[in-house]
Amino acid sequence: MNKMTLWIGLVTAMLLVGCQNQTDPVAHRDDNTGFEPSTSAPTSSPSTSEASENNFIQTFMGSCVQNFSEFARVEAAAKVQKWKLITDKNQLKMIAPQDDGGQWKAWKFKSGQVGALLSVGSREFEGEKINFCVLIANPIDGNAVRDRIVKMLHAKKESVSQQGGQRYATYIFIHDGKPLLLNFIDGVPMGLKTLNASVTTRPSL
């Protein structure tokens, strides 16, 4: 098994929570903020659908691509937009990376009409530092969101798999002259709309 395969496996383990845990705090009301994200897609009009997809893409591109590894900027933007920093220990355990390593922060907020969660952080793997940025939400058409992001970033497919009712896809793209990994996890085989999209550091080979 080569280093890239091991790396993708680790990334998958880090990011699984968004689709595995449907009791994620993203799907719960926060009585302190009045935040009550929808757990199903609104269907009032095509314009609502389009806005939901655009909000996901804009948040992902702004936080996870344009400001990748510049997490102080992401944190500053979260404060300006009044995103809710998750500090409750039980909630943090529910959304923590599966390997429970590294340092990270997470916020919940509304992306259009649906709830979302953004997490940024870093950890080490075989002496290399992994930076990661993850956006989790319920876009109306996750496939369309994925395809648009892949096209915008001119990303090339690295691996695709399906296991345990979830689909995994990893791509490589170039940002500021450096290769990064673009990852997607969804629960479409189980009838779930949740999409987990992330950008992570690519290992040196």
158 close to 171: Cβ distance less than 8 angstroms: yes
The residue that leads in pLDDT, 30 or 68, is 68
Token couple for 93: 């355990």
* Neighbouring-strand partners of residue 185: 168, 196
pLDDT average, residue stretch 37-57: 48
Interaxial angle between packed helices 142-153 and 46-60, expressed in degrees from 0 to 180 and rounded to the nearest 10: 40
140 exposure class (CB count in 10 Å sphere: 0-12, 13-18, 19+): buried
What per-residue confidence (pLDDT) applies to 98?
58
pLDDT average, residue stretch 160-187: 93
> Taking 70 as the threshold, does the pLDDT of residue 14 lie above it?
no
pLDDT average, residue stretch 7-17: 51
What per-residue confidence (pLDDT) applies to 102?
65
* H helices present in the chain, as ranges: 3-15, 17-20, 46-60, 71-80, 89-95, 142-153
**What pTM was estimated for this model as a whole?**
0.76
Gyration radius from the chain CA atoms? 16
Closest CA to 112 of 73, 71, 60: 60
User: 155 pLDDT band (50/70/90 cuts)?
Assistant: very high
Tens-digit pLDDT profile for residues 105-124: 899 998 766 778 999 988 87
> Taking 50 as the threshold, does the pLDDT of residue 61 lie above it?
yes
> Taking 90 as the threshold, does the pLDDT of residue 63 lie above it?
yes
- Mean pLDDT, the chain, rounded, equals 76
What is the distance between the alpha carbons of residues 74 and 141, in angstroms, rounded to a whole number?
26
User: 41 pLDDT band (50/70/90 cuts)?
Assistant: very low
What is the distance between the alpha carbons of residues 123 and 109, in angstroms, rounded to a whole number?
25
